[in-house]
């Protein structure tokens, strides 16, 4: 049983695991997920009735087959340090040519399809102990999954901490270590990792070391909601934000749901 930290040295393999969430932040139940790693040769991945979240350390080509017309494909050329989310309502297969990287198959949630990268040198948001973070795939609605870029500069000794749900990702580049009650784990660019819900850990870098990390979360506790998002709060009706006029709000059947 993995209590605090699980290194994944072979991205060309596949690991099945169940999402654990001791403090759910959405109204939906935690879902099983499948983690797929791929090497320099890439791989072919069916898109589930849900989403694929992907992250790559090296350059690759992403080829997406249309859900209703599989012979119609969309191609994206990705530099290294890139990421993507694929909606199973729109595409039925994702082929990655190149790599290495990691894909998370997450059924029952429909992400907004997007492709991004390369990552910047540091995050846009302040984190803890001198680290920075960018929310590179935001939750469409509060409570839903998200993907982050965590930058850990040289000479960092993070405070030990936990998270209420699983954290999964790749060490994009650099070197350092993760310290847990079960011991220390060496971190090197190109390896995958998983921290189970409640796992006690901290990241550390020595002289001349730094780390850039993809970190996927199955949930979130900040983000837009149906009652508070920029389009709604910045719409003014007779001097009052529309967010404060519930009689004007669209009904539930007006939106495309993000869960099965």
What pLDDT score does 22 carry? 57
C-alpha pair distances (Å), 171 with each of 56, 61, 108, 228? 10, 20, 27, 34
User: How many angstroms from the chain centroid is the CA of residue 214?
Assistant: 7
User: How many angstroms from the chain centroid is the CA of residue 146?
Assistant: 5
Q: What is the biggest distance separating any 2 CA atoms in the chain, rounded to whole angstroms? A: 61
Calpha distance 164→110 (Å, rounded): 22
Based on the number of CB atoms within 10 Å of its own CB, is 75 exposed (0-12), middle (13-18) or buried (19 or more)?
A: exposed
pLDDT tens readout for residues 54-108: 999 999 999 999 988 888 899 999 999 999 999 999 999 999 999 999 999 998 8
- Full-model pTM: 0.93
Which candidate, 160, 165, 162, 163, places its Cα nearest to that of 177? Answer: 160
Which residues does the chain have with pLDDT short of 70?
1, 13-30, 260
Q: Fold for 6-217, please state it.
A: Jelly Rolls (2.60.120)
What pLDDT score does 24 carry? 61
* Domain map (residue ranges) of the chain: 6-217
What pLDDT score does 21 carry? 57
From first CA to last CA, the distance across the chain in angstroms is: 31
pLDDT tens readout for residues 35-68: 888 989 999 999 999 999 999 999 999 999 998 8
8 A C-beta contact, residue 164 and residue 197:
yes
What pLDDT score does 234 carry? 97
What pLDDT score does 68 carry? 87
Calpha distance 233→168 (Å, rounded): 33
Calpha distance 54→205 (Å, rounded): 26
Prior bond to 127 cis, omega within 30? no
What pLDDT score does 211 carry? 98
């Amino acid at each position: 049983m993995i209590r605090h930290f699980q290194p994944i040295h072979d991205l060309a393999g596949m690991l099945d695991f169940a999402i654990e969430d001791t403090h759910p932040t959405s109204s939906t139940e935690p879902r099983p997920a499948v983690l797929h790693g791929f090497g320099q040769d890439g791989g072919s991945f069916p898109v589930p009735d849900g989403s694929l979240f992907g992250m790559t350390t090296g350059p690759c080509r992403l080829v997406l087959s249309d859900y209703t017309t599989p012979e119609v494909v969309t191609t994206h050329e990705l530099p290294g340090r890139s990421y993507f989310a694929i909606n199973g309502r729109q595409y039925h297969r994702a082929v990655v040519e190149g790599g290495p990287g990691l894909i998370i198959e997450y059924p029952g949630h429909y992400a907004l399809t997007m492709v991004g990268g390369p990552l910047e040198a540091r995050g846009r948001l302040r984190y803890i102990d001198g680290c920075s973070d960018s929310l590179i795939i935001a939750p469409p609605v509060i409570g839903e999954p998200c993907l982050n870029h965590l930058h850990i500069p040289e000479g960092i000794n993070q405070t030990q901490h936990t998270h209420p749900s699983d954290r999964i990702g790749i060490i994009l580049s650099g070197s350092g270590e993760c310290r847990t009650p079960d011991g220390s784990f060496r971190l090197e660019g190109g390896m995958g990792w998983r921290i189970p819900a409640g796992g006690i850990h901290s990241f550390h870098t020595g002289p001349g070391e730094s780390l850039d990390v993809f970190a996927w979360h199955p949930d979130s506790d900040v983000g837009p909601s149906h009652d508070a998002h920029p389009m709604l709060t910045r719409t003014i009706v007779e001097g009052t934000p529309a967010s404060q006029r519930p009689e004007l709000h669209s009904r539930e059947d007006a939106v495309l749901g993000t869960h099965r």
